[in-house]
Amino acid sequence: MKKKLALALVLSLTLGLVACGSPDESSSGSGKDQASASGDESGSSDTSGDRSEDEDGSSDASAESSGADGTETPEGWNFEGVPLNIAHSTTGEVGDALQAQLDAFSELTGCKIEVELLSSNSEESVYTLEVRAATGNLPDLFQSSIGAQLDKLDPAANIYDLSGQDWIYQNVTSSYLDLVSDPETGAVYCIPLTTSNVAGCFYNKKVYEDLKLEIPLTWEEFLNNCEIIKTQTDKVPVVTPYSDGAGAQILFLSQYFYVHQEDPDFADKYTNKETELHDSETFMRGLHKLNDLYTKQYQSDDPLAVSFEKSATDLANGDAVMTFSRTNILSTLSNVAPDKIEEIGFFPLPDTSPDVRGVATWMPVAWCVSKNIAPEKEACALALMEYLTTGEAIDAYCKVTVPTGAFMLNGVELPDTISSAAREAQEWVAKSSTSVMEYSCNIKGSNMVTILQMAETGEYTPEEAISEIEKDNAIDARQKGVAGW
C-alpha cells in the first residue's frame, strides 16, 4: 500500500478501501456464521457536542514523516506518556491484527495503551458497556456493534461526536457513515473496527474458461450459464450450502442492493409500515431467484445437507461451478483448498439491468470514543481514531492477517496478499454497494431461515414465502414495540 495520503486543511489523511475479512471469517461454515445484521453484525465475529479539529489539538502539526509503507503521518502527533484505556472483544488472529495497529500507533506517538478484553458474548459485552455508561465509566475507546446495539448505549449522551473531524468524511465510506450517524443532528459516532463481509457469486474461473462462459450481467444471463453447465457437464451449476442459516439467507438478503437502488427509503418505509415487502417487485425477485435455482434444478441435489466447507471444496475442485456466499468463503477456501484460491473469481448477484449492478455488505463493528473522555486524553484518542483509518494502520493489520473482505475506507491500495476474488469484491464495494436491509431496519422475524429453506426446496412458492416472512416480521415488530405494528 504505497498510496500517498494528501494532507488537507488540517493535515487530515485521505485514506481508503481495502479488502479484508470480518473477525469471524475463520469460522465460516462452522455454523457460527449467521447472516443476520440485527443485534451483532453477523459479518463480524465479536460484539462487543461537536468539536473541531482545532479543539482536539491534532491540527497543530505542520510537518509529516513517512511510515514504513510510504504513508505519511503528522509529526505533530506527540503524545508521550498519555494513557489510553481501550476495550474490545475481538480475539484470535484478527485480535492480534488490532493489537498490531495499537502498538504501531503507540510507537509512532509515544502514548501508553492499556487493552481490556471484553466478553466475546455480544449481549454480555453490550451490557457491560451499558452499565459503565450509566456510571460515567466508559473506556476511552471501545468496540461496539452498530445499529440497535449502538442505540442501547445512548450515543448522544455517551459517545464522542466525530462530525467536527474533517478526516472522518475523507477516510470513511459514506455507506458506513450513514449507519453510524444521527440523521437529525448530523452527529457521527464510529469508525469501522475491522472489515465488511461482501456478498456475491463466487465461481470457478477454470470451468468458466473451459466452457467459454462470460460473466453474467443479468439474471437471465446467469440462468443461461447454469443451463450450459447443466447440459454440457456433470457439474453442479450452483452449490447451495443451505444447511447453515447464513447460507440459506445470503442470496435473498443480497437482493436488497437492488431494492435500495430503486428506493433508498424502502427500509424506513417498511419500518414505519408505509409499504409491505410483497409490494416491491424488486424485493420479490430475491425469492423468485431462489425458486429458479430449485425449479430448473440448477442447485445441489440435497441443498439442506450442504455445508460451507463442502460448498467451498466442491467449488475449488470444479465439482460445482458457482455459489452465492460472502467473502468469508475465502477463509474456508484457504483451509480446504489453499492451492486453488486463485482459481476462484467473484461477481455481483445479477438482476434485470446490465447497467445496474452492485453488492450488498455486512458491515464491520465499530470503534467509539467516550464522550466523557478526560480532556488531557482527547487529542490522543482522536489522533488514534484518525490513524486507524490510514493506509499505515491497514498495513499493520495486514501484516498479521490476510484480509478477505473490505475495509469501509476510501483510497488505500490493496496488499499483494489479497486474493483476486477478494480484490474483485473490494472493487465492487468501492464503486457500487450498500449494506443489507437489517442495518436500516430492525425488524426481522425469528423464522426467516426456516421459511427460506422451505422456499429453496420447493415447499413454499415465492408468494407463500413472502406471506410467511411478513407474518413472522409482524410478530417481531410487535415484540420490539415498533410503532404502527
pLDDT digits 0-9 by tens, 328-383: 999 899 999 999 999 999 999 999 999 999 999 999 999 999 999 999 999 999 99
pTM recorded for the entire structure: 0.79
Question: Which of the pair, 443 or 22, is modelled with greater confidence?
Answer: 443
Based on the fold, state whether residues 287 and 302 are members of the same structural domain: yes
Based on the fold, state whether residues 175 and 289 are members of the same structural domain: no
Domain of 178: which CATH number? 3.40.190.10
Question: Could you tell me the three cell numbers for 421?
Answer: 476474488
Instruction: Please state, in angstroms and as integers, the Cα–Cα distance from residue 456 to each residue in 101, 247, 302, 460, following that order.
Output: 43, 11, 11, 8
Based on the fold, state whether residues 266 and 320 are members of the same structural domain: yes
pLDDT in tens, 91-122: 999 999 999 999 999 999 999 999 999 988 87
Based on the fold, state whether residues 233 and 329 are members of the same structural domain: yes
Confidence of residue 412 (pLDDT cuts 50, 70, 90): low
Based on the fold, state whether residues 21 and 163 are members of the same structural domain: yes
Per-residue pLDDT, averaged over 257-273, amounts to 96
Q: Which of 19-23, 252-256, 408-412, 413-417 has the lowest mean pLDDT?
A: 19-23
Based on the fold, state whether residues 326 and 217 are members of the same structural domain: yes
Confidence of residue 75 (pLDDT cuts 50, 70, 90): low
pLDDT the model gives residue 144: 93
Q: Is residue 433 part of a domain?
A: no
Q: pLDDT at residue 414 above 80?
A: no
Number of domains in the chain: 2
Based on the fold, state whether residues 307 and 444 are members of the same structural domain: yes
pLDDT the model gives residue 67: 32
Please say whether the beta carbons of 375 and 396 come within 8 A. no
Q: Is residue 336 part of a domain?
A: yes
Q: Which of 177-191, 202-216, 398-412 has the lowest mean pLDDT?
A: 398-412
Q: Is residue 431 part of a domain?
A: no
Q: Which residue matches cell numbers 503528522?
A: 74
CA 293, CA 223: separation in Å to the nearest integer? 8
pLDDT the model gives residue 73: 53
What value does the mean pLDDT of the chain take? 85
Q: Can you give the residue range of the structural domain that contains 393?
A: 7-28+40-194+364-411
Based on the fold, state whether residues 370 and 339 are members of the same structural domain: no
Instruction: Please state, in angstroms and as integers, the Cα–Cα distance from residue 440 to each residue in 264, 270, 436, 446, following that order.
Output: 10, 10, 8, 17
Q: Is residue 390 part of a domain?
A: yes
| 98 contacts: CB under 8 Å, gap ≥ 6 | 88, 90, 193, 194, 397
Confidence of residue 88 (pLDDT cuts 50, 70, 90): very high
Based on the fold, state whether residues 357 and 247 are members of the same structural domain: yes
Q: Which of 27-36, 104-113, 215-224, 320-329 has the lowest mean pLDDT?
A: 27-36
| 88 contacts: CB under 8 Å, gap ≥ 6 | 46, 48, 95, 98, 115, 117, 118, 142, 143, 193
Q: Which of 37-51, 62-76, 464-478 has the lowest mean pLDDT?
A: 37-51
Based on the fold, state whether residues 53 and 163 are members of the same structural domain: yes
Confidence of residue 32 (pLDDT cuts 50, 70, 90): very low
* Sign of the alpha-carbon torsion through 466, 32, 195, 137: positive
Q: Is residue 110 part of a domain?
A: yes
Q: pLDDT at residue 175 above 60?
A: yes
